[in-house]
Chain A
């Protein structure tokens, strides 16, 4: 066998988890190569340019932010494991965020990176619930959320043991679900804990230049450690014999072999590549029922509006992120309509504290809502464009009810560019089936697959958020390769 085509570890996908796994493995001397189908790294958290303007995708904010000196949290673990100095990420903290419920956001809970603010807001708006809330927080603080073999439990059930007001319950679930739930209506409690800590007990931050800063640091560490990378070259097939991966077929047609394969592209996406060696055909992988996994049902759309002034100049204040819902009940599910504009997330990246006299050159206003994937996949191109335009207006009108009133003409006049992504965009650029940003509803915590030398990391392993994604890559590399 040609030794140049054999790797100790092949990583499929150069997203946050794949890059983090790659850094660990290369640092400890493994011959490792990351194969990425797209021409840019980052996967679900990436960036692009149109007309010379740089846009972030995915990341609204980096969650899990803790200040220097706080130890033992996911961010500090990740920095240590990847030998990254926290200055390299140059994180700037959020100003303030809110959960706003009611047809005009009448009930609002403000939060910052100081948890005491959120706790006092809950006490103010829900005085009868505060004792239960504190007990719930105590439970969350003590919960071992990185255990790889925790027993699954319904988060709704656990939260209801502490809170009796369904409005407060929904107001806690809304941000937590929007920032990471692949499951509709409810979450596994361990997943809820991970996200609650990431959002409320820790917090939001962003590098001034956005997600590209984080990706640049990861790529540089990986390169320095001696890792190889092939861009615009995905893995087309995983050929197995018995219970092991035998070889991999690349998009280029080349075949390579690997002692271990770590896939970050999602469980159904990975299993969809698995074929019995020799006899290639979909019926072959269907012959192995354990190699089946369903993608999530719901997806998202996001509108991006670029403004010629800071959003605060439109009277929108200091809000960094606003999670909103206008209905008596918060429905986190695949909508019956193409988009569900009743709830969503507003992100104003200008409202991070970048330091004195440092502001983003333009205003950015992003709104994310739940979407039904099949509708968006089925449209012919002309109708797809028209449908995007139609929903863009509806989403904006809905979201703006939750911000201080501003003159619609001023907003339109300040707009210099817009863009919008749909489930179709997500699948096109990331390969994630069904536009499912948060992957499959059933997570595989230990990363094992029916094939002995194939492991999952990233979204479908189940540590959420971008810090979670990186920790997932680290944990799976440690657990399945480095400690072997």
Chain B
């Protein structure tokens, strides 16, 4: 029975399934009030813990999850889960108060000023003591990893970046290094910096709320929880030798062969559809992909302003804020789009100009 269950989990942990499931469940859950109550939180906590405990009996699961350097990722899963729950619970509680015409929970206490000594100073002190104890215990219980001496001649398989960059390394499956390693990370930083200047919504400043800032919260959480944290989990727990996918209970077999026949958009169009062979001049060859990207980044944003939903934002934010914001948004969405194109059509590149290393 357990074996069949493991097979099922293995099957559905494949990124094309687990990513879809994570996205759908995540967005749906944000709008489903009953998860964000004490009972909902407890059920989720017990469920996840039970899953971890039972799974630890599986040798392959244990091998990956119990690696000393992977412990922080298990921690991250718990912490992110807990704080998503906490913030959404507080947000929904406040939304209810606002709907009833009452002040938010924070508002009831905001004008109440209390002395830093002793309240703040002492709670800080207690936090420091607790943290110190936790760190000492953690350090005694778990030895920091130290492998064989560095040897540039023997590359481990898989070679992985530090765990917090594994989301970026996972992006390498879908993008070339210049995108996954340089351009997209830079745009994440730029995008984060731009948030306060793009977001013109004056509500929700200094208190938890969901109703008053739905789009902002869904977008940010989608980026943080799904695209960042989920990809780290995939990159850590489900990528084995040769960066092949391995189910959570699958043995990391170095000889696993994954047939990869990835096809460029230009090959689809010129060879499969038109049957004429690839044009020799790169501009002609890649014209379909270039046009598609122009359509995506130039025509689509302008077109969106005609839609009622986006028009409201356009009017509120003004043209420059709107186009910067939508540009960053579309860049972010390039990742899931490319993922699905890969899974559905084995698409390798939309634009493949090997002459200049310019591949998207």
Q: Tell me if chain B binds chain A.
A: no
Chain B contacts to A: CB under 8 angstroms: none
